[in-house]
Structure 1
Amino acid sequence: MKRFLNIGLAGLFLANVAYAQSYQFDFSEKKKVEKGVIQISSDSIYPCKGGYGYDFLPAPVKKSNEPFFFSVDVPDGNYLVTVTLGNARKAGSTTVRAESRRLFLENISTRKGEFLTYRFTVNKRNTIISDGEKVQIKEREKNKLNWDDKLTFEFNGDAPCLASLKIEPVNDVVTVFLAGNSTVVDQDNEPWASWGQMIPRFFDEHVCFANYAESGERADTFIKAGRLKKALTQMKEGDYMFIEFGHNDQKLKGPGKGAYYSFASNLKYFVDVVRAKGGIPVFVTPTQRRSFDNSGKIQETHEDYPDAMRWVAQREGVQVIELHDMTRVFYEAMGVEPSKKAFVHYPAGTYPNQTKALADNTHFNPYGAYEIAKCVIEGIKQLNLPWVKYLRDDYHPFNPASPDKVDTFKWNESPFTEIEKPDGN
């Protein structure tokens, strides 16, 4: 079986990709393009006839180095994306993100007249579970790019240069579903970020991450809102679900609640339903909070919840990524004050309408999220999950005790910011 199917613009039915069709767009300003290729001009504003076009911001002008967005209407599913970056008239430096700031390519340099082609696989979804049933998303999610009917790309960087974009439905790649809270979610706006939106950058097109996490979620609310049920409608045999909870679950008090009661029962439910679909559950212990004692050591703030995850995992034969331990090492290696550089700590006036300093010791900025994604990858390597072979060639082994220097991390911010902290703690 071919790894992907080029089915043309007519479209046809594929399992789990209902009437998905392939698109090939040309952005190079050629006078003539090949048959079947859609030529994009500055007038191609979403939604053009056909459901595609530049979105959110004005179309880029020839000499502009401003970021831009491009959207296309597609059904739910996984899509193989082929991008050719470069420009005949100028040098470029391009970063590619998709949906809610999921990172796929970063700081790709092209000389004038040079064109480089890359491929990755992206997951798209909406809220529909079945006829008459939808995911109960929060009010703040209603403008979230992860839950709409279009696949959106962000082209950013010092000088973003896009020559062509090809989108094809694909159904035979490993999909890794992410279930979790604000430390995992695809954060929409600067300066917030989470490891779940950084990890796609490190894998090639054979692996697709479908991030269903949301700020403020607990294991029980993730189930009740239909997020798990929706993910299961997309899951096929051999797919994975990474499950990270504990931050918000510990706030749930009362009879029958607690780490070894309702939390453990909910984790067991995740395991059962994922396995019933032929999927493979993996637990990820929660990230530490930035809470230091007087000796510069991280204090435990998660009560029994990490141990409860380990207990359920042992009982049910579930593999565990010890992110709880790795993030402790990471923060302590950075130090008490320097570790603020991994979190949303910014003085007043850094972002529009920010009248007070941001000092959040739970939620990460892009650098912190990027480093923690590397921690997760080292956990994947320790478990020797079979798809670890699809790490990109430029991934280098990472040691949380020796984090990357902050000043070596280059991030071109997205145009949209938010000063209100995400739900959860």
Structure 2
Amino acid sequence: MLRLAIALSLVLPALCQTAPTSFVLVGDSTTANGTTPNSGGWGNGFCGSTVTSTPSSLAPGTPCINTAHNGATTGSFVADGFWDISLAAIRGEVAKGRRTLVTIQFGHNDMKIAPPESMGQNLTMMVQQIRALKAEPVLVTSLTRRDFNNDGTINDSLGPWADQTILISQQQNTHLLDLHAASITYVEAIGPDPAHRLNRTPDDNTHLNNNGTIVFGRMVADLMNASFPNQLPIIANPALTFNITHGIPSF
């Protein structure tokens, strides 16, 4: 019996590492694909894109379906039918017997129309519906805007919405990727000029160009790896990870 227990302890972690995994991304323009005006998020840097020649952070053949939409709030994402598209993608991956992780990142547009608690109610509904489909919700706090104060710190208008995401994660016992805190730490470390080189356009401190999506897509991948150690088909990028963790510009 002891030998069997030892054998299982060696085999089960290996099975977890090789479990077929799919990703579905839900969110606003800071998650969405594309680098046209008023768009450009970290999605391409995480999933990869043949259109923009952006390398994936995932092992070849890993499904990564980005359903995020420009301008969306948690409310409009549902009301405009994009949530139905997300749910259909989730159902499709679960039906294939794949472990399906669903990231949810909002806040940039919710903050314009309603208090954080309103977003929190919508996030709770999303989490519960994802679990009802036998998928795994992963809440992600908002990517920071690269809006600097004169002293080099970030002028953080998104903090209350990031805090609300953390609260819902605690209440619903989900995995959490604190992209908000990680991205603030990084851009404050590299400073305004290198941070703005990641902008979609020179005066767009919200959306990302191709270099920006590579940097923050890797940041999400590393946060995901930390939250799910030795479980996910994420490809290492030691050089980029070193720069991110040491506050060094890559572009």
Do both share a fold (TM > 0.5)?
yes
Letter in 2 for 1:216: G
Unaligned runs of 5+ in 2: 1-18, 48-55
User: What is the 5 A alignment of 1:46-57?
Assistant: none
1:314–1:371 distance in 2 versus 1, CA, 3 Å: same
1:294 aligns with 2:150: yes
Cα deviation code 1:243-298 (max 9, x no counterpart): 00011001114xxxx112x2111000001100000000001100111111121111
Distance in 2 (CA, whole Å) between partners of 1:362 and 1:191 is 8
| Alignment equivalent of 2:69, drawn from 214, 218, 221 | 214
Equivalent position of 1:184 in the other structure: 31
Provide, for residues 149-185 of structure 1, a one-character-per-residue CA deviation record: whole Å limited to 9, x for no partner. xxxxxxxxxxxxxxxxxxxxxxx94221111111110
- The 3-state SS of whatever aligns with 2:205 is strand
Corresponding residue for residue 381 of structure 1: 225
- Contact 1:198 1:370 (C-alpha < 8 Å) held by counterparts: yes
Q: Percent identity?
A: 24
Alignment of 1:229-378 (within 5 A): 229-235=84-90, 236=94, 238-253=99-114, 258-260=115-117, 262-346=118-202, 359-378=203-222
CA shift at 1:394, angstroms?
5.3
Say if 2:102 and 2:138, in contact at 8 Å, map to a contact too: yes
* Matched ranges for 1:118-267 at <5 A: 173-187=20-34, 189=36, 193-200=40-47, 201-235=56-90, 236=94, 238-253=99-114, 258-260=115-117, 262-267=118-123
**Distance in 2 (alpha carbons) for counterparts of 1:322 and 1:282:** 10
Residue 341 to residue 188, structure 1, CA distance change in 2 (3 Å): closer
Which structure's residues are more often helix, by fraction?
2
Q: Match of 1:184, as an amino acid?
A: T
Distance in 2 between residues matched to 1:363 and 1:306, nearest whole Å: 17
Q: In 2 relative to 1, CA 405–393 (structure 1 residues): closer, same or farther, beyond 3 Å?
A: closer
TM-aligned CA deviation for residue 226 of structure 1: 1.8
Question: Could you tell me which amino acid in structure 1 is paired with residue 34 of structure 2?
Answer: Q
SS at match of 2:138: strand
- Residue type of the alignment partner of 2:45: M
- Find the aligned partners of 2:226 and 2:40 in 1 and give their Cα distance: 25
Determine if the alignment matches structure 1 residue 391 to structure 2 residue 234: yes
Flag the structure with larger Rg.
1
Q: Deviations over 1:205-254 (max 9, x none)?
A: 3521100001100111111122222222232163111000011001114x
Task: State whether residues 45 and 217 of structure 2, in contact with CA within 8 Å, keep that contact through their aligned partners in structure 1.
Answer: yes
Question: Which sits farther off after the overlay, 301-310 or 185-194?
Answer: 185-194
Note if contact 1:174-1:206 (Cα within 8 Å) is conserved in structure 2: no
Query: What is the CA–CA distance in structure 2 between the aligned matches of 1:265 and 1:234, rounded to whole Å?
Result: 23
1:392 is paired with a residue of what secondary structure?
coil
Offset at residue 337 of structure 1 (A): 2.4
Match for residue 402 of structure 1?
A: 247
Change (3 A) 1:393 1:303: closer
- Alpha-carbon distance between aligned partners in 2 of 1:193 and 1:221, rounded to the nearest angstrom: 19
Contact 1:250 1:303 (8 Å CA) reproduced: no
Moved more, 323-332 or 224-233: 224-233
Alpha-carbon deviation of 1:343? Answer: 0.7
* Distance in 2 (alpha carbons) for counterparts of 1:339 and 1:188: 16
| CA displacement, residues 49-79 of structure 1 (integer Å, 9 cap, x when unaligned) | xxxxxxxxxxxxxxxxxxxxxxxxxxxxxxx
Whichever residue aligns with residue 240 of structure 1, its letter is L
The answer to whether the 8 Å contact 2:26/2:86 transfers is no
Q: Quote the Cα distance in structure 1 between the aligned partners of 2:33 and 2:192.
A: 27
Q: How far apart are the structure 2 equivalents of 1:322 and 1:393?
A: 20
Cα distance 1:395–1:205, how it changes in 2: closer, same or farther (>3 A)? farther
C-alpha deviation, 1:303, in angstroms: 4.5
Q: Which moved more, 1:217-226 or 1:199-208?
A: 199-208
Per-residue CA deviation, residues 77-123 of structure 1 (Å, 9 max, x unaligned), is xxxxxxxxxxxxxxxxxxxxxxxxxxxxxxxxxxxxxxxxxxxxxxx
Q: Which amino acid aligns with 1:391?
A: I
Q: For structure 1, which runs of at least 5 residues remain unmatched after alignment?
A: 1-171, 347-358, 407-425
Higher relative contact order, chain-length normalized (CA < 8 Å, sep 6+): 2
* Cα distance in structure 2, aligned partners of 1:392 and 1:180: 23
SS of corresponding position for 2:108 = coil
Higher share in strand: 1
Amino acid at match of 1:204: A
Give me the whole-angstrom Cα distance separating, in 2, the residues matched to 1:325 and 1:177.
22
Q: TM-score of the superposition, structure 1-length normalised?
A: 0.48
